[in-house]
Amino acid sequence: EDLKVADRAVEVMKASDDYLNSARAEDVYSLMEQNEMLSKSLEGLKKEMDGLKEEMASAQEMLASKTQEVEDLSSDLKVATKVVVSLQSNDIDRKQQLEEE
């Protein structure tokens, strides 16, 4: 009777070891699959980040270009304003000369 109990205990332990070994293999496989999915996801995110970096660089170039345009237009406006002020001043001087004559 004790021998039967001992045999049964050994069978249960073997079955338990087999289960644990298979469960571990399944767990490892599952983790490998998850790791592969995360790696692919990370690759996708890296590509997306690279795309965003390119867009940002392009936007910065466009901003620099527009800033230069604004500076150029501002400079042109200053020149034009000086010309207008000069013309108005000349016009006032001529009117005064005409009135004096």
pLDDT band at 2 (very low <50, low <70, confident <90, very high): confident
> Sign of the CA dihedral 91, 92, 98, 101?
negative
pLDDT of 36 strictly over 80: yes
Look over the chain and give the mean of its residue pLDDT values, rounded to a whole number: 90
Please tell me the distance from the alpha carbon of residue 100 to that of residue 72, in angstroms, as a whole number.
42
pLDDT of 24 strictly over 80: no
Q: Which residue has the higher pLDDT, 75 or 10?
A: 75
pLDDT of residue 94: 86
Summarize the confidence of residues 6-21 as an average pLDDT.
Answer: 82
